[in-house]
């Protein structure tokens, strides 16, 4: 196996994840089997207990691993199907080292950062290699920036690993910032030089430098960076701000032939030129749409772009498939609660309520679901959005005035949404929800069955603690709400719908985690299609 390590310098949020994903996409289009993973230096075991304000969305894998949102980019940009092996944090490393020490696995030795911690980091690389014998190239993104105290051990581990597997099998790529000083009208290369110098102090010489820049990279600056950073001039690559969509990133990096530079560095001389026609067609459908729809996304973290990242991307995928621009109208659920749905949401072609936790803004979301139901606006609820739709229907159609979730009111009189028995008494919040890919049964002659083209079963990724309370099943169904899917093993409600509504579908799982650029998730595809029909009507 060949290895690519992507590090970053100067500032965070440079787009290392998109760079890694874009390189993966280009190499895959060359015909190589690629896998991407993320090493994060933070001490949390995983992002599962972290606030979206701290870390954006939590991206869930098939095996239930709660991971960084960059793994969403990795899976969307490539055909990779990742697992818990593809996400490593300092918290996981230290947890394992301490457990090994307590179990006597170090045979009485003094446990130290080097070699015990760095060996554990390297072990993850070897574990992924062993578990994926068909993968040709493993790309690993290192979170944070060079110089951070938290990331030093990871970089030291990579230095050792390169010696272990042979430097000819490793490509180090460093992503750095080229700031434009507008007062002087100049792009400055010094931050890049300093960042690479810091990396070289650790013993890592980057093979390729990716320069994040608002503008193009002229030959003088390219030559200066090459000289002071000890790389070939052709290996200084510009990564420009893209104009319309992140899916233009692979095409931008292709301008400097980064995929050719990588395969040359790794000795893969027989690698063919990539055929990017399918990717270019997808980007063209985003950039040059025929139609447009306005969809309101009503949530509690709405001001933070990354909190609902996969949902926004899934809407983009579905929009491209319909050759339609999806204009996302971000709506704060608390504003709806205070001022009413009609006033705050306004005229839109569809409404989506995403997942979330906690009671803030819940009543605003309930008002939103009622607004969509009563005004025949296409509605799509995801996870908490499904629970919200259930509560609203129980209150306003079934006449169950006290309908609520025990998540929001532990002592509510009518818990139509409640904690399942196996969840009661759980004290550890991390990795203890209903997580990962699970099988559900689809009932025939339902909207959901139509959306999934008559499939008898579906497999979807979950992340939640609370469920539809089966004690209310008969009352709610008698009032007209249709249960169109239940989990195969437990019989838990998975999809609800209103057959007399133009489009009112809500799912307990997270379909956004399985949507890809040229393969939009069926629920998102059908929802955007319904929004188009609604707009035309």
Per the listing, tokens 């009518």 go with 414
Quick one: which H or E segment has residue 459? strand 457-464
Distances (CA, A) of 178 to 196, 205, 210, 212, 440: 13, 19, 10, 6, 49
Alpha-carbon span 401 to 407, nearest angstrom: 17
Q: What are the φ and ψ backbone dihedral angles of 283, each rounded to 5 degrees?
A: -65, -40
Nearest to 297 by CA among 216, 228, 227, 372: 372
Write down the H helix ranges in 56-189.
70-77, 90-102, 118-131, 152-165
Q: How far apart are the first and last CA of the chain?
A: 55
Distances (CA, A) of 148 to 455, 483, 495: 50, 51, 45
What Rg, from alpha-carbon coordinates, does the chain have? 25
Q: Considering 156, 392, 494, 512, which one is annotated as catalytic?
A: 512
Write down the H helix ranges in 105-218.
118-131, 152-165, 190-202
Six token digits for residue 257:
């032939």
512 is catalytic: yes
Q: Considering 383, 398, 418, 531, which one is annotated as catalytic?
A: 383
Alpha-carbon span 391 to 389, nearest angstrom: 6
At residue 63's C-alpha, the angle toward residues 58 and 66, to 5°, is 20
Nearest to 369 by CA among 505, 473, 510: 505
Contact (Cβ atoms closer than 8 angstroms) between residue 168 and residue 267 = yes
Contact (Cβ atoms closer than 8 angstroms) between residue 463 and residue 456 = no
3-state helix, strand, coil in the chain (%, to 5): 45, 25, 35
| Cis peptide upstream of residue 530 (ω within 30 degrees of 0) | no
Q: Considering 32, 501, 510, 521, which one is annotated as catalytic?
A: 510
Which are the contacts of 416, defined by CB distance < 8 A and separation ≥ 6? 390, 391, 394, 400, 403, 404, 405, 468, 469, 472, 476
Per the listing, tokens 């509510």 go with 412
Alpha-carbon span 445 to 7, nearest angstrom: 51
Contact (Cβ atoms closer than 8 angstroms) between residue 318 and residue 517 = no
Alpha-carbon span 138 to 141, nearest angstrom: 10
* Residues belonging to the active site: 383, 510, 512
């Amino acid at each position: 196996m060949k290895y690519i390590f992507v590090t970053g310098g100067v500032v965070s949020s440079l787009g290392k994840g998109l760079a890694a994903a874009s390189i993966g996409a280009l190499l895959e289009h060359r015909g190589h089997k690629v896998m991407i993973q993320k090493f994060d230096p933070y001490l949390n075991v995983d992002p599962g207990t972290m606030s979206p304000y701290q870390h954006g969305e939590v991206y869930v894998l098939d095996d239930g691993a709660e991971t960084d949102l960059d793994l969403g980019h990795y899976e969307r940009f490539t055909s990779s199907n990742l697992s818990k092996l593809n996400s490593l944090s300092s918290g996981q490393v230290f947890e394992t080292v301490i457990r090994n020490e307590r179990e006597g696995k170090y045979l009485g030795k003094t446990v130290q950062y080097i070699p015990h911690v760095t060996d554990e980091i390297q072990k993850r690389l070897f574990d992924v290699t062993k578990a994926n014998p068909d993968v040709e190239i493993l790309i690993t993104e290192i979170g944070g920036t060079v110089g951070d105290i938290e990331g030093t051990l990871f970089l030291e581990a990579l230095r050792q690993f390169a010696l272990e597997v042979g430097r000819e099998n490793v490509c180090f790529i460093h992503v750095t910032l080229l700031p434009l000083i507008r007062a002087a009208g100049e792009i400055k290369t010094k931050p890049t030089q300093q960042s690479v110098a810091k990396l070289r102090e650790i013993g890592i010489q980057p093979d390729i430098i990716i320069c994040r820049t608002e503008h193009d990279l002229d030959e003088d600056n390219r030559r200066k960076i090459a000289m002071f950073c000890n790389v070939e001039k052709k290996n200084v690559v510009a990564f420009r701000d893209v104009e319309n969509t992140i899916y233009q990133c692979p095409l931008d990096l292709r301008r400097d032939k980064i995929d050719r530079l990588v395969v040359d560095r790794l000795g893969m001389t027989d690698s063919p030129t990539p055929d990017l026609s399918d990717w270019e067609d997808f980007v063209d459908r985003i950039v040059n749409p025929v139609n447009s729809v306005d969809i309101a996304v009503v949530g509690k973290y709405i001001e933070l772009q990354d909190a609902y990242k996969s949902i926004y991307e899934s809407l983009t995928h579905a929009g491209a498939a319909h050759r339609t621009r999806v204009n996302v109208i971000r709506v704060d659920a608390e504003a709806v609660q205070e001022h009413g749905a009609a006033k705050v949401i306004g005229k839109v072609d569809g409404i989506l309520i995403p997942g979330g936790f906690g009671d803030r803004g819940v009543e605003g979301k309930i008002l939103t679901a009622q607004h969509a139901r009563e005004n025949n606006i296409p509605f799509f609820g995801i996870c908490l959005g499904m629970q919200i739709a259930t509560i609203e229907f129980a209150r306003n159609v079934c006449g169950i005035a006290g309908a609520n979730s025990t998540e929001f009111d532990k002592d509510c009189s009518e818990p139509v949404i409640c904690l399942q028995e196996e969840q009661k008494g759980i004290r550890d919040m991390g990795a203890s929800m209903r997580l990962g890919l699970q099988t559900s049964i689809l009932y025939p002659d339902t909207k959901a069955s139509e959306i999934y083209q008559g499939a008898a079963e579906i497999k979807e990724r979950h992340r939640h603690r609370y469920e539809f309370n089966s004690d209310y099943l008969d009352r709610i169904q008698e009032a007209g709400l249709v249960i169109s899917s239940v989990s195969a093993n437990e019989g838990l409600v998975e999809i609800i719908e209103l057959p007399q509504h133009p489009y009112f579908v809500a799912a307990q799982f997270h379909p956004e985690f399985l949507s890809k650029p040229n393969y939009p998730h069926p629920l998102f595809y059908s929802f955007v299609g319904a929004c188009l029909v609604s707009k035309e009507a």
